[in-house]
A and B are shown apart, each in its own frame.
Chain A
Amino acid sequence: MAGLSLQNLQKTYGKVEVIKGVNLEIEHGEFVVFVGPSGCGKSTLLRMIAGLEDITGGELSIGGQVVNAMQPRDRGVAMVFQSYALYPHMTVYDNVGFGLRIKKTPKDERDAKIREAARILQMEHLLDRKPAQLSGGQRQRVAIGRAIVRQPEVFLFDEPLSNLDASLRMDMRMEISKLHQDLGATMIYVTHDQVEAMTLADKIVVLNAGVVQQVGSPLELYHRPANLFVAGFIGSPKMNFLDVTIDEIGSGVVTVSGPDMKPVSIPVATDGLKVGAALTLGTRPHQMQAADHGPITATVALVEHLGNETIVSLRLPSGKAIVAALDGDFPVTHGATLHLTPEASKAVLFDAHGTALQVT
């Protein structure tokens, strides 16, 4: 059983702080995705867990054992790299069996494990080939096979699908998900692609500038983002943000309005709120409806008909842009004026620091 515990984990390069104190608990068997923009430190954090980067401060435990000073090989982890990192001169068979060969596993046992891994990944017919003779997806399969045969407690994936084309990425995503179900091992997966994060994760860790922004299940992050960064990062198209001020405070509900929006009542915990305070209203494109007397009035700037939905970019009177995802057959033309209603129960209010207000 190998859960992970990260306590105030830090990493600095000289004076540059890359990871600024990360606290995180990962249960055994969980699929955790680190997601964030480029340079947020997610790969560094993964490499620290793998043992490829020294830990500057804090404590990392795997399976209840502090592993800060432990060599990568002793940590019971396997890693799949973005560049696959296959040994170019070895056949697939030897690549997959490399770790076992290093560990001096008996030949029969090694052979059985390699063939089992190949069977799981449906690449038995590739075993005699060299990596150069494989396609991107096949190479990634081999890299995953190399991780599987060692039966590690923890799998680490460093942007494994980034080098694949879109359709293949979707297939491999499903395979990794299935693999997680079959093996039941702990998996930590780094990506900058929030779709991968949403589809794969039991638990998403959103990182920005070396700081954990929010930890939670995909839907938690989608519906109740902790701050503006998470709200803007998770969900596609991005959440719309409107500047508003508080007009009136009721019990468990505030009425807000702004230069681009007539008053709307939003359910929220009202403790500490004052009338006149400036807030940011976040509303997702899919949570906006076109309505004759909607509080938001905007001009259509761009229309994308996707069939199942229509993505409309609109310009507000203040010049800001918002996006609404409307019905697939919604009749709308460039330059038209639309009235929109945000779904109040799903809208999120952020205070002046960008932190989301709690909902009662």
Chain B
Amino acid sequence: MRPKQTKSLQSNTLAGWLMSGPALLLITLFLIVPFLLAFWFSFTNQRLISPNPTQFVGTSNFEQLLGVGTLVLQPEKAEDGSLVVSATGELSYPRVRDFTRNNPDFQHLNGMREWFGWEWGNTKILVLARDLVFMKALTNTLFFVAIVAPLQSIIALLLALMINQKLRGINVFRTVYFMPVVVSIVVVSLLWRFIYDGRSGLLNNLLQFLSFGHFQPVDWLGNPDTAMWAIIVMSIWQAVGFHMVIWLAGLQNIPLTLYEAADIEGASSWQKFRFVTWPGLRNTAVLILVVITMQAFALFSQIDVMTNGGPLDSTQTLVFQAVQRGYEQQNIAGGSAISVLLFLIVLTISLVQRYVTRER
């Protein structure tokens, strides 16, 4: 008997630390340290390469990003008090730049640009933002999440329900639906750039063929109205297989006898889904919702490869902006501030989701 051999690995702390050492080191180096550094940088004026020393600037990065203001414009009046009307019958308003450029009365609006606005009677109400590109990135990202999270979960669930049936050759379908997940997102993005091509892209050709030539080709990625939708469709297609597999695992965890019992009690297909399948998928649904939301917020590669944030900033996203500022504009502090904001947004949403879907 050699007693040393029987000593369990758990009690051998040194071996344990040695074995987990490489992983711990890498995680610390590339996850924990950058995470903490980002917090610190977001409160400084750190540049990627700069001869000047780094200075602590407080929350000015965040003020710069999140600064918004409103401006109420009254129509211009002539000296007699009547409204000035142009030749085309439109009212005339003072220029926004008169308020945002060195106007001592409107210091708080200095440097802001028009974001959006609406009219209230003759009055024009404008919302101004200090960092218009960031605001567009923020709204685009939220829009992307709002569309992708529900749509992708539902499509993945439908696919999972379909491939959960016992049919001959069902594994072929499982493989086909899962394939895009295995392919690198960069490769997928490149391919879809060809599909979306404005002149001879596959999508335009297909639509022209189906409409007997009546369809006018659209430059899907070059048109501000369609670019984001094009990215959304492609993103859903790419990742839906992954979530389908998670749903499938959830589906297969539901005991078959529950369906048989429901059959005997006379439940219809819909009732079986409503009363057996869906409640049985509850935990899976929470997981999928959180995972998809996080992934959707991290939208970057598709943008980087396909549109670079354009056209007209219509596909700017938070992560893309963070990278652009940090590395292309060498503004590490600004990029870090965006990362920190993104972290807080995702954390908040995840906590809300967990609270809403909690076990009651």
- B267 and A79 contact, CB distance less than 8 A: no
- B265 and A81 contact, CB distance less than 8 A: no
Interface residue? B279 (CB, 8 A): yes
- Measured in the bound complex, the distance between the Cα atoms of B263 and A74 in whole Å is 10
Partner of A98, one of B257, B265, B268: B265
Closest CB pairs A-B (n = 10):
A73-B266, A99-B265, A89-B279, A85-B257, A85-B261, A72-B264, A72-B263, A81-B257, A79-B264, A102-B266
* B285–chain A nearest beta-carbon distance, Å: 13
- A52 and B264 contact, CB distance less than 8 A: yes
- When C-beta atoms are compared, the residue in chain B nearest to A84 turns out to be B257
Interface residue? B21 (CB, 8 A): no
Of the A-B pairs whose beta carbons lie under 8 Å apart in the complex, a sample of 22, sorted by A's number, is A50-B260, A51-B264, A52-B263, A73-B263, A73-B264, A73-B266, A77-B264, A79-B264, A81-B257, A85-B257, A85-B258, A85-B260, A87-B261, A87-B276, A89-B280, A89-B282, A90-B275, A99-B266, A102-B266, A102-B268, A146-B261, A146-B265
- Measured in the bound complex, the distance between the Cα atoms of B258 and A244 in whole Å is 53
> Which residues of B from 254 to 302 have beta carbons under 8 Å from A?
255, 257-258, 260-268, 271, 275-276, 279-280, 282
Query: Residues 242-260 of chain B: 1 if any A CB is under 8 Å from the residue's CB, otherwise 0?
Result: 0000000000000101101
- When C-beta atoms are compared, the residue in chain A nearest to B257 turns out to be A85
Residues of A within 8 A of B266 (CB): 71-74, 99, 102-103
- A102 and B267 contact, CB distance less than 8 A: yes
Known: A51-B264, A73-B263, A99-B265. 4 other contacts (CB 8 A): A79-B260, A85-B260, A90-B279, A102-B267
- When C-beta atoms are compared, the residue in chain A nearest to B271 turns out to be A102
- B260 and A52 contact, CB distance less than 8 A: yes
- Measured in the bound complex, the distance between the Cα atoms of B266 and A99 in whole Å is 7
Residues of B within 8 A of A287 (CB): none
Residues of B within 8 A of A32 (CB): none
- A79 and B261 contact, CB distance less than 8 A: yes
* B120–chain A nearest beta-carbon distance, Å: 50
Interface residue? A4 (CB, 8 A): no
Query: Residues 42-85 of chain A: 1 if any B CB is under 8 Å from the residue's CB, otherwise 0?
Result: 00000000111000000000000000000111100111010101
Residues of B within 8 A of A87 (CB): 258, 261, 275-276, 279
Query: How many of chain B's residues have a CB under 8 angstroms from any CB in A?
Result: 18
Residues of B within 8 A of A52 (CB): 260, 263-264
Query: Residues 85-97 of chain A: 1 if any B CB is under 8 Å from the residue's CB, otherwise 0?
Result: 1011110000000
- Measured in the bound complex, the distance between the Cα atoms of B64 and A36 in whole Å is 80
- When C-beta atoms are compared, the residue in chain B nearest to A149 turns out to be B265
Say what secondary structure dominates the interface of chain B: helix
- Measured in the bound complex, the distance between the Cα atoms of B261 and A288 in whole Å is 48
- Measured in the bound complex, the distance between the Cα atoms of B255 and A52 in whole Å is 15
Interface residue? A203 (CB, 8 A): no
Interface residue? A150 (CB, 8 A): yes
- When C-beta atoms are compared, the residue in chain B nearest to A81 turns out to be B257
* B178–chain A nearest beta-carbon distance, Å: 29
- Measured in the bound complex, the distance between the Cα atoms of B257 and A51 in whole Å is 13
* B280–chain A nearest beta-carbon distance, Å: 8
- Measured in the bound complex, the distance between the Cα atoms of B260 and A72 in whole Å is 9
Residues of B within 8 A of A50 (CB): 260, 264
- When C-beta atoms are compared, the residue in chain A nearest to B254 turns out to be A88
Residues of A within 8 A of B276 (CB): 87
Residues of A within 8 A of B260 (CB): 50, 52, 79, 81, 85
Residues of A within 8 A of B262 (CB): 98
Partner of B257, one of A71, A83, A102, A146: A83
* B257–chain A nearest beta-carbon distance, Å: 4
Residues of B within 8 A of A73 (CB): 263-267
Partner of B255, one of A74, A77, A78, A83: A83
Residues of B within 8 A of A99 (CB): 265-266
> Which residues of B from 58 to 76 have beta carbons under 8 Å from A?
none
Residues of A within 8 A of B268 (CB): 102
> Which residues of B from 217 to 237 have beta carbons under 8 Å from A?
none
With a 10 A CB-CB cut-off, give which of B261, B263, B279 has the most chain A CB atoms: B261
Residues of A within 8 A of B264 (CB): 50-52, 72-73, 77-79
- Measured in the bound complex, the distance between the Cα atoms of B254 and A88 in whole Å is 10
> Which residues of A from 95 to 118 have beta carbons under 8 Å from B?
98-99, 102-103
Residues of A within 8 A of B267 (CB): 73, 102
- When C-beta atoms are compared, the residue in chain B nearest to A79 turns out to be B264
- When C-beta atoms are compared, the residue in chain B nearest to A78 turns out to be B264
* B75–chain A nearest beta-carbon distance, Å: 61
* A48–chain B nearest beta-carbon distance, Å: 13
Residues of A within 8 A of B263 (CB): 51-52, 71-73
- Measured in the bound complex, the distance between the Cα atoms of B282 and A33 in whole Å is 39
Query: Residues 327-339 of chain A: 1 if any B CB is under 8 Å from the residue's CB, otherwise 0?
Result: 0000000000000
- A85 and B255 contact, CB distance less than 8 A: yes
- B261 and A81 contact, CB distance less than 8 A: yes
- Measured in the bound complex, the distance between the Cα atoms of B260 and A81 in whole Å is 9
- When C-beta atoms are compared, the residue in chain B nearest to A53 turns out to be B260
* A201–chain B nearest beta-carbon distance, Å: 23
* B267–chain A nearest beta-carbon distance, Å: 5
Residues of A within 8 A of B282 (CB): 89
* A303–chain B nearest beta-carbon distance, Å: 41
* A190–chain B nearest beta-carbon distance, Å: 14
Residues of B within 8 A of A83 (CB): 255, 257
- B257 and A150 contact, CB distance less than 8 A: no
> Which residues of B from 180 to 219 have beta carbons under 8 Å from A?
none
- A102 and B261 contact, CB distance less than 8 A: no
* B310–chain A nearest beta-carbon distance, Å: 48
- Measured in the bound complex, the distance between the Cα atoms of B267 and A146 in whole Å is 14
- Measured in the bound complex, the distance between the Cα atoms of B271 and A104 in whole Å is 12
* A230–chain B nearest beta-carbon distance, Å: 30
- Measured in the bound complex, the distance between the Cα atoms of B275 and A98 in whole Å is 9
- Measured in the bound complex, the distance between the Cα atoms of B282 and A158 in whole Å is 29
- When C-beta atoms are compared, the residue in chain A nearest to B268 turns out to be A102
Residues of B within 8 A of A146 (CB): 261, 265
Residues of A within 8 A of B271 (CB): 102
* A233–chain B nearest beta-carbon distance, Å: 27
Residues of B within 8 A of A78 (CB): 264-265
- Measured in the bound complex, the distance between the Cα atoms of B276 and A74 in whole Å is 20
* B274–chain A nearest beta-carbon distance, Å: 10
- Measured in the bound complex, the distance between the Cα atoms of B265 and A87 in whole Å is 12
- When C-beta atoms are compared, the residue in chain A nearest to B276 turns out to be A87
- Measured in the bound complex, the distance between the Cα atoms of B329 and A323 in whole Å is 94
- A102 and B265 contact, CB distance less than 8 A: yes
- When C-beta atoms are compared, the residue in chain A nearest to B282 turns out to be A89
